[in-house]
Amino acid sequence: MNQESPSTWRVIGRIILKAAVLFLALNLLFAWVRPLDTLGRLTLYNWFLPGRERLPYGENPAEANNLSLNNLPAMFASHRVSQPKAEDELRVFILGDSGMWGWFLENEDTLAGQLNEMGLVTEDGRTLTFYNLGYPIMSLSKDLLLLDVAMQYDPDLIIWPVTLESFPSQKQLDHPILQNNPERMRHLIETYDLQLDANDPRFIDPDFLENTIVGQRRPLADLLRLQQVGFAWSATGIDQAIPAEIPLRKSDFDEDVSWQTYDEPVTLTTDDLTFDVLGAGVQMAGDVPILIVNEPIFISDGANSDLRYNAWYPRWAYDQYRDLLTAEAAAQNWPLLDLWDAIPPDEFTDSPVHLTPTGPEMLAELLRPYLP
């Protein structure tokens, strides 16, 4: 039997050593440069693959042709909003929560889809194009972070649907996309003097080793997966798994008036709700008009509906919120459209803000008079 000579083993050893040194050097360089944002801008979308109609979100890539990730440049690079702006286009960005993103809705049935279906044209001949920049999980700070990125794509109008569940101070930094983008969020806290803690322990600050290729292997894999699922998305148009039967929201309630950390009714003030984040968004928009919309909610007529509008909102909390929002908007001269009770209860599905396909169609008609 042939045996390897000592010289052969020395060559193999040198190759292994050089590979190890190179791998170490690449990891150290990667941690020093931190190129994830740059890599996120490298995409197949909007040239080889069509741009997505909504920001990527999903926990089952194989079933939904979608996935959640925390790389903001990659999320926007995959979205059709990153396409060059047409000369005759008036761009309208729609922010908001999962209701605006379109939970259990096809893209054409979302608010943005319904508004685009109207084919609206301004008096000077520009076509209104609506971009769905809603994103699941409620937090005004999440909306502000996404708006900060979106401003580079030249909006002409911003529609910002809000609801009470996005306002509590203690919830603002619960969203993973905020926790995993601490530098961006801290910059917003400092720039707009937000009443949020820049040193909040929920922020995730990787150390040097965690910023290496090995430490960032999951975010790197997510970038590749986002491109991979794009092929199935472009072929099917499917970007979420919609069940054949959608469970309905709760209509009957216990004798319970609790909300957030309060077991009993209290007098809410602007200190309890993050109106400063809303104001930061208006300031960020600058000369771009912004319309704040108190989005429709499900209003129950079931058991103990005299105490609660729905599973989220006892009447005392939501009524005070509406009063505070109206007063703050008037004081700050914010354009506000209150549509809280504009959609019939039957047009809500599994949560107090998720709509049937008919709901966004009705909402689009209600918004139409307020558009250019």
Residue 152 banded pLDDT, cuts 50, 70, 90: very high
Residue pair 297/241 in contact by the 8 Å Cβ criterion: no
CATH number for the domain whose boundaries are 11-243+255-370: 3.40.50.1110
Q: Which amino acid is at 305?
A: S
Q: What is the pLDDT of residue 1?
A: 46
For 203-222, write each residue's pLDDT tens digit: 999 888 888 887 788 999 99
What would the DSSP string read from start to end of 112-124?
HHHHHHTT-B-TT
Q: What is the pLDDT of residue 102?
A: 97
Question: Is pLDDT at 316 greater than 50 in this prediction?
Answer: yes
For 289-305, write each residue's pLDDT tens digit: 999 999 999 999 999 99
Q: Which amino acid is at 291?
A: L
The residue ranges of every structural domain in the chain are: 11-243+255-370
Residue pair 321/270 in contact by the 8 Å Cβ criterion: no
The stretch 154-181 carries a mean pLDDT of 96
For 274-290, write each residue's pLDDT tens digit: 999 999 999 999 999 99
For 327-363, write each residue's pLDDT tens digit: 999 999 999 999 999 999 999 999 999 999 999 999 9
Question: Is pLDDT at 2 greater than 70 in this prediction?
Answer: no
Give Cα 362 distance to the centre of its chain.
Answer: 23
Residue 29 banded pLDDT, cuts 50, 70, 90: low
Burial 214-253 (b: 16+ CB within 10 A, else e): ebbeebbebbeebbebbebbbeeeebbeeeeeeeebbeeb
